[in-house]
Amino acid sequence: MGEEGTEGTVHLLCLAASSGVPLFCRSCRGGAPARQQLPFSVIGSLNGVHMFGQNLEVQLSSARTEDTTVVWKSFHDSITLIVLSSEEGTSELRLERLLQMVFGAMVLLVGLEELTNIRNVERLKKELRASYCLIDSFLGDSELIGDLTQCVDCVVPPEGSVLQEALSGFAEAAGTAFGSLVVSGRVVAATESWWRLGTPEAVLLPWLVGSLPPQAARDYPVYLPHGSPTVPHRLLTLTLLPGLELCLLCGPRPPLSQLDLQFLDRWWQPVLDPLRACVPLGSRALPAGFPLHTDILGLLLLHLELKRCLFTVEPSGVQEPSPEHRRRLLRSFYTLVTATHFPPEPGSAEDKVEEAAQRTQVPRACYLVSGPEEPGTGWRLVAVQAGPRRLLLLLSAQCPTHALRGLATHTLQALSPLL
């Protein structure tokens, strides 16, 4: 199994579909933004071959060379996105979902009308600069995984019910039904209406908050790609503690000035200790002391119906492999099992038809050994599915192969009440 995200370069191109004019190009090398740009001749060739196919009613979606994978995707016959990746083991599934997230980010910050009815290319280029920070975070080595799973990254706070009650009361007092607490781009708690937000905004909004530079308060205009792609809403954010932000999605009211320090203190001062307990949860996802087997080096738990996930590569104090390496292993394993072993996540009509056809032969578990084959070396990866939940584990080499399924099943049972 190749490891997605190992040293390589990713180029993302955005073009106006009708004219082929480049709107922007973003690049990333080794998980960090890069200044390296593709020559205009290469951009023109990549777009030209895609347009040539369209004129012949042939849909060109992907191609592979010896060291590069290319994926094309058009949106609303107006925007063409092209991604090229030379990262080892990159899958088409990962690149396709990347393009969906990138277009969602463009709609989130610019609005669908500007993208589907391009009146002034130069003005659109300037407006799209607002999305660069968010888009670059998809290309880089993020600690989140919602871009790939299309599920909301969450954490489990020690006193979730207390925070939930405070959040619901605060949102109601502020005059909105949409509120959430976000730590490092992950949702700690949210109101019922916030959880009902559609894809991709449910993933994009906390990711956006986590990608922005720290600020005490923000009043940020956003469009909802699924729920309101042409009419903007206001995303209000207030920093309660360093790294922990309160988010409200609302219309013209309330004004940000109404949410003053006195108003905040009335609701959040009584729950200050539970709030403080949330801050270190960013990379850990699970409360301190949650019982996990010592062989577990990382885990990804998905609830496919609720579209939420828990993702951590720091469940224990073990040093090797590095957190970046663990994330790459789990991301790569996720794309493998999603594309080849388990049925598609609930979504499109095609997915449901395919799922019904395959229901009689759906696997319940699979595993993989990565690295050297000598006993006691390499890493073990195992995936199990039960109902709407799917669990992927990265395990140390000390875990015997025959114990993988039992350990994964027991872990899934222990984690199920959390998600």
CB count in 10 Å sphere of residue 321: 18
Helix (H) or strand (E) holding 64: strand 62-64
Q: 13-27, 68-82, 354-368, 370-384: which has the minimum mean pLDDT?
A: 354-368
Task: Decide if 201 contacts 226 (C-beta within 8 A).
Answer: yes
Q: Is the pLDDT of residue 29 over 90?
A: no
Average pLDDT of the chain, as a whole number: 87
Summarize pLDDT for 69-118 with one digit per residue, the tens: 999 999 999 999 999 998 887 889 999 999 999 999 999 999 999 999 99
Least confident of 153-157, 212-216, 248-252, 369-373: 369-373
Q: Kindly compute the dihedral angle of the four CA atoms of residues 287, 288, 290, 295, in this order, to the nearest 10 degrees.
A: 120
Q: Residue 353: its pLDDT value, please?
A: 47
Summarised one tens digit per residue, pLDDT across range 265-300 is 889 999 999 999 999 888 888 988 888 888 899 999
Residue 60 has pLDDT above 50, yes or no: yes
List, in order, residues 6 or more apart from 119 with CB less than 8 Å away: none
Per-residue pLDDT at 67: 87
Residue appearing with tokens 């599915």: 385
When pLDDT is averaged across residues 385-407 and rounded to a whole number, the result is: 90
What one-letter code names the amino acid at 334? Y
pLDDT at 377 over 90: no
**Where does the pLDDT of residue 46 fall: very low under 50, low under 70, confident under 90, or very high at 90 and above?**
confident
Identify the three-state secondary structure at position 296: strand
Reduce the DSSP state of residue 13 to 3 states and report it: strand
CA distance readout (Å), 201 to 12, 61, 99, 184: 21, 24, 15, 17
Query: Distance between CA atoms of 20 and 285, rounded to whole angstroms?
Result: 43
C-alpha 385: how far from its chain's center?
A: 21
The Cα 293–Cα 316 span in angstroms is 9
**Candidate from 148-152, 166-170, 315-319 with smallest mean pLDDT:** 315-319
What span, in angstroms and rounded, lies between the C-alpha atoms of 403 and 405?
Answer: 6
pTM: 0.90
pLDDT in tens, 344-361: 665 544 454 455 545 556
Cβ(240)–Cβ(274) under 8 Å?
A: no
Q: Is the dihedral of CA 6, 11, 14, 18 positive or negative?
A: negative
Say what percent of the chain tops pLDDT 90: 58
C-beta neighbour count of 122 within 10 angstroms: 9
